[in-house]
Amino acid sequence: MIPSYRKIRKKLADDNHFLKYSRYAIGEIILVVVGILIAIQINNWNNLNEKNKLKNVYLNRLISDIRSDTANIAFIRSELEINQTVIQALIAKINLNTDLEELDTLYSNYLERGWIISEFVPTSNTYIDLSQTGNMNIFNNPDLVDEIIQYYSWMTQVENSNNVNKNWITPLDQELATATAVFELDPSTKRLFEHKSKIEALKNLNMNKVLVERNAAGHYWINQSLSGNLLAMHGLCLHLLESLEKEYKLSDSR
């Protein structure tokens, strides 16, 4: 066996086959290694491309959500301004010698507009999705991630604050509804009391001016609180929207 092996080795050495075979084997190994590296690079590129596509999807969704929030904030603030004007008009004239017809208009406007408890609910489906799926780490910009988290954290604080205010004003509304004839003048329920005298209902509210004023002042206060919070939120909306659009342009250009 050994002599045979020595003959084969001698034959390879004499013919230089061993060197040729070694070169061929090394070349094959290099080709395999290069092939593996190329496959890994292609796989990494595909993964990065898919990640970038998903990132752009989330960026688009967030941009849409923030734009929606911005529009809703502007609308609610404009509605609050109308409500505040109605409240101011009622309190300014309730203690004057205002005729019953004008009082009817003032009370009706208040019960239709001033008595409203406004609220703002952010569009947070995309943020919830990012948080629950763990996809927030798809953004490789830590400053943007912090800004997104802070934005929705602030939104939650505003919601909680408004809920506290609503819980605070509710007993005053209940007291007004129980002690006075407001339902007989409220535009949404007055048709139920057409068999009763509107004049008597107005006189009833005039006899409870202090309660009406306290109720109106309470609504005015929570409207001011919400309006101030919405103003601050509007600034946050614009800043986050700018950051998201900038990130989308950078990501889309890659």
Note whether 138 and 233 are within 8 A (CB): no
pTM listed for this prediction: 0.78
Angle of helix 209-252 versus helix 142-179 axis, rounded to 10: 160
* Nearest one of 111, 117, 84, 119 to 188, comparing CA atoms: 111
**Tens-of-pLDDT digits for all 254 residues of the chain?**
545 545 555 555 555 555 555 655 666 677 666 766 676 666 555 556 677 788 999 999 999 999 999 999 999 999 999 999 999 999 999 888 778 888 899 999 999 999 889 989 899 999 999 999 889 988 889 999 999 999 999 999 999 999 999 999 999 999 999 999 999 999 999 999 999 999 999 999 989 999 999 999 999 999 999 999 999 999 999 999 999 999 998 876 66
Q: How far apart are CA 71 and CA 237, in angstroms?
A: 10
Q: What is the pLDDT of residue 16?
A: 56
What is the greatest pairwise CA distance in the chain?
Answer: 132
Q: How far apart are CA 59 and CA 53, in angstroms?
A: 10
